[in-house]
Amino acid sequence: MTPSERRVTGTLSVIYILRMLGLFLLLPVLALYAEGLPGATPAMIGLALGMYGLTQAVFGIPFGSASDRYGRKPVITFGLLLFAAGSLLAAAAHSVTGIIAGRALQGAGAVAAPIMALLADLLRPEQRTKGMAAIGISIGGAYLVALPLGPLLGAWLTVPGIFLLIAVLATAMIALLWLLVPTPVTHRPASLPAGQFRAMLANPQLLRLDFSIMALHILMTATFVALPPLLRDNLDLPAAEHPWLYLPTVLLSVVAMVPLIVYAERRHKLKPVFLGMICLLGGGTVLLLEGRHSLAGVAIGLLAFLIAFNVLEATLPSMMSRLAPMTGRGAAMGVYSTAQFLGAFVGGAAAGWMRGHYGAQGVFLAGIGVCAVWFAVAFGLQAPAALQTRLIAVGDISAERARGLTGELMALVGVAEAVVIPEEGVAYLRVDAKRFEPASLDRFIVA
């Protein structure tokens, strides 16, 4: 990565970490806190926990589309302000209904798609998987940190205090966004035509990726609905000792993920690795099913599951950013984000029902079935085209000149994508090496 790409990846990952940390801190404490509020019932408490994911899914597409039309950073800022407002509303709530309203407003700030689209705008294609992997790792890291930290902060600050802390973190995220992340100037129309938007939604390649991220998060959520009770009841492992299983398997899975991603990118083997990881995910679920009476069997199955999950979590958004049309990348990421959160919602709800009727065995059998269907759907996926990247120095130019320059670069034969970053004085091009003439760039390059 260039220094600019490293700074962008680091800053957007930190924004993601702070945002997800604010959400995960509430998981171990919110249900217990809500039990003492007026109007508390198991259904209402469950709604308070799940409402964020539901509104996040509803607003994912509008926020992604808006970022195509109005720019990534203004839309992300508006979403973070909604996130902060929802946190303040929940902090001031004196009933479960108030908590639900605050959580709904938090989720309405659906900035996941614009952040991923902004990262894709600012990274060269061969670096996007690294950037998406960094965000994926940040989500996992935030989860690991939040589980033990949440109860400690709950005892010190109380749950309303945690909501206030989340609002402060949202303000810090906005400052980081505008101070450290450059503003890309891309060649996009004022809005995505309705016909083009419908065509994108009907694109079978993008739909395969949308189904893939939904299936992935169905499996992840469902697995962790069934696994903790299984560890406690079948293997007599107290809840306080569960992190000693999770932490090493997560760390080993991250180590194993890196060479697989490098191989997929450098050898242009994204599709074979993608299909292989679906099989590994299914194999890990089989091991969890067959080894559910042995701690070693569960540990091996969980490790296989997490390796596949981490690789897919990193490569799927990268593939989406390459297959989506540049002018509709935010909208495509919005659909993708909606599918992701719907997967988490469906996986949790369905696994809870299934565990009550058929136990953990039923959940794992259903997960194996999801993997089989997913493999069949994904088999027809077309691998992204192997475009090359050109980076050229364009000098100190204004934003207005940058907009004109992107159009001129896009008009060159063989150029598939052009992004100009005025703050850095550079332009990134994605080109088809078979059609592109390098000499056509000579008149744009500043010595």
Q: What is the pLDDT of residues 261-294, one digit of tens each?
A: 888 877 778 889 999 999 999 999 999 988 778 8
Q: What integer pLDDT is reported at residue 190 of this predicted model? A: 44
Q: What integer pLDDT is reported at residue 199 of this predicted model? A: 62
CB 429 within 8 A of CB 409: yes
Residues in the chain, overall count: 447
Burial class (CB in 10 A: 0-12, 13-18, 19+), 67: buried
Distance (Å, rounded) from C-alpha 423 to C-alpha 97? Answer: 46
Q: Which long-range contacts does 288-293 make (Cβ < 8 Å, 24+ apart)? A: 288/223, 288/227, 288/364, 289/361, 289/364, 289/365, 289/368, 292/230, 292/234, 292/360, 292/361, 292/364, 293/234, 293/235
Q: Which domains does the chain have, with CATH numbers?
A: 1-186 (1.20.1250.20), 194-384 (1.20.1250.20), 388-444 (3.30.70.100)
Give the list of residues 6+ apart from residue 161 with CB closer than 8 angstroms, or none: 91, 153
CB 309 within 8 A of CB 281: yes
Ranges of residues in the chain with a pLDDT under 70 are 27-28, 31-32, 42-43, 45-47, 50, 125-126, 129, 132-133, 136-137, 139-141, 143-144, 146-148, 185-201, 239-240, 243, 321, 325-331, 384-386, 447
**Phi, psi of 186, deg, nearest 5:** -115, 160
Distance (Å, rounded) from C-alpha 83 to C-alpha 18? Answer: 12
What is the residue whose two structure tokens read 């760390």?
251
Residue 142, SS3 per DSSP: helix
Structure tokens at 325: 């049309």
Q: What integer pLDDT is reported at residue 196 of this predicted model? A: 54
Q: From its phi and psi, is residue 236 left (phi > 0), alpha (psi between -120 and 50) or beta?
A: left
CB 329 within 8 A of CB 68: yes
Q: What is the DSSP string of 254-310?
A: HHHHHHHHHHHHHTT-HHHHHHHHHHHHHHHHHHHHHTTT-HHHHHHHHHHHHHHHH
Q: What is the pTM of this model?
A: 0.70
Q: What integer pLDDT is reported at residue 235 of this predicted model? A: 83
Distance (Å, rounded) from C-alpha 117 to C-alpha 57? Answer: 17
Give, for 392, the enclosing helix (H) or strand (E).
strand 388-393
Structure tokens at 195: 């016909």
Distance (Å, rounded) from C-alpha 383 to C-alpha 91? Answer: 47
Q: What integer pLDDT is reported at residue 123 of this predicted model? A: 82
CB 325 within 8 A of CB 200: yes
C-alpha distances out from residue 264 to 89, 239, 256, 257, 324, Å:
45, 37, 13, 11, 19
Give, for 416, the enclosing helix (H) or strand (E).
strand 415-421
Q: What integer pLDDT is reported at residue 143 of this predicted model? A: 64
Beta strands in 58-214 (DSSP E): 185-186
Distance (Å, rounded) from C-alpha 214 to C-alpha 210? Answer: 6
Structure tokens at 357: 């009727």
